[in-house]
Structure 1
Amino acid sequence: MLEIDDVRKRYGDTVALDGVSFAVRPGETFGFVGANGAGNTTTMRIVMGVLRADSGEVRNAGRALTYEDRRTFGYMPEERGLYQKMKVADQVEYFGRLRGLAPAAARRAAADLLERLGLVERRDDAVDALSLGNQQRVQLAVALVHDPAVLVLDEPFSGLDPLAVDALAEVLKDRAAAGVPVIFSSHQLDLVERLCDSVGIISSGRMVACGPVGEVKDREGRRVLRVVVRDAAPGWADGLPGEVTRDGECDVLLSEGGDDQAILQSAVRAGRVEHFGWQQPTLAEIFREAVA
């Protein structure tokens, strides 16, 4: 288990991290989300030893991380670190050998990842000839080539098209299913909600919410009643709790209080009810509230 325990970091008078703590279990995918400058990247750099924490500890399997531990990790930094004139396949194989793979094993691992990430046709292209999205795929292949024991990925889905997102998601699911702790940051909260078992929300260097996704979404027992009425009579929701918006030919009422049966009766009188049900807030809504 990867554990970040009360980690603190300052830059002069600026507090970058203020007692950040969370854990990622084997086989768990952890989404680490925050606004720009919130502390995600600083935390990941400390995990990887790029930065030194002022205090606190990062542990794996119950002991402080060593250089050798970190060599087994897969890391994708926020900034790309690729050799621009090097061919794609040669580059992934090269990084595999740097991580200790034998030449034949590095070649096999590179070929497998290029196929899985949709890069086979670009294997002999130089990196600087690729689109930004394809460069992102190469960076991911570099992070995955040595079959890492832990994955730490900073904005891995940035710049990827939907097909590439799906391909990467499948790779991450496979690694997690094999028992690898996976932590990634992302501003695409719909992806975090879809892919992650747990989530941590950081704001101004402090963890403001952390836990299994379902628990974080349900932390205050908050639910929203969503009612969709087609061809509704004007003013049908006047006096009802909540807010009405227009979606095409439908009125959409979102309400957190009131008598749901009375709301249903009003909706039935107003028009054709196409949806009526309680729903949890989305992770994006929880995030906005947590960092406000």
Structure 2
Amino acid sequence: MKESSPIGIFDSGYGGLTVFRSIAEKLPDYDYIYLGDNARSPYGDHAFETIYQYTLECVEWLFSKGCNLVILACNTASAKALRTIQQKDLPSKYPGKKVLGVIRPTAEVIDSFTKTKKVGVMGTRGTVNSESYLLEINKFFPKIKVYQQACPMWVPLIENNEHMQPGADFFVTEYCNALINQSSDIDCVLLACTHYPLIMPKLTAILPAGIEILAQGEIVADSLVDYLKRHPEIESTISRTANKSFFTSGDSKTFDEHAAIFFGEALQSGKMK
């Protein structure tokens, strides 16, 4: 009997569930393990070395559960840990294992969403300060000008389920205006944090009409479909019983209560050990 080898999906908290949801819709037959490092989230303001260490520990835990492929469904982890894990840890300790992020898939397609070639990126301080999107988008599309805006209050509002309350309007408006004030020609805004799709109604109402607001879930899911087609040696190892397991480093009951908002359905998690 073939051993279970699910696709691992990691996030510092809940936001990666929006990406997981899109992936599971595109690839419903595979097995998945989701891990949220809620005990140590949010990652956005931590130092590079701390984020790398936390992310590596969680990736190694997913490897220990049989995952041969892990998706970092977290922009901060993708920005500050992915490259080091890919270049340092995988070759020396985990040959044959793969870890992918969410930044490159988005950068590869961003050109098709902008006519003015002026793109806004809204993310955590960690993602913005890393300049990962500036570098990746410039690598593929040198003519695109990227404007960034850190939105440090959005994740706490969302994780406390306050994001759709009137009190959140101030912070949503403040960061949107700060971005648009950098250039009135921005015609595409990338939500470079997997939490942010939950405030899409407010963003649509506040940002100028005609701006395309881009969430990452479907883009990352499409990219994974393509990746598995191009890498049958990885695809063939993934087990297919349509099983989804959820784990958290924090309190399971609290995770379950909040996670349903992001995943769109009730779920039951286990404790990371």
TM-score strictly above 0.5: no
Give the structure with the larger helix fraction.
2
Give the structure with the larger strand fraction.
1
Length-normalised TM-score, structure 2: 0.28
Length-normalised TM-score, structure 1: 0.27
Higher radius of gyration, 1 or 2: 1
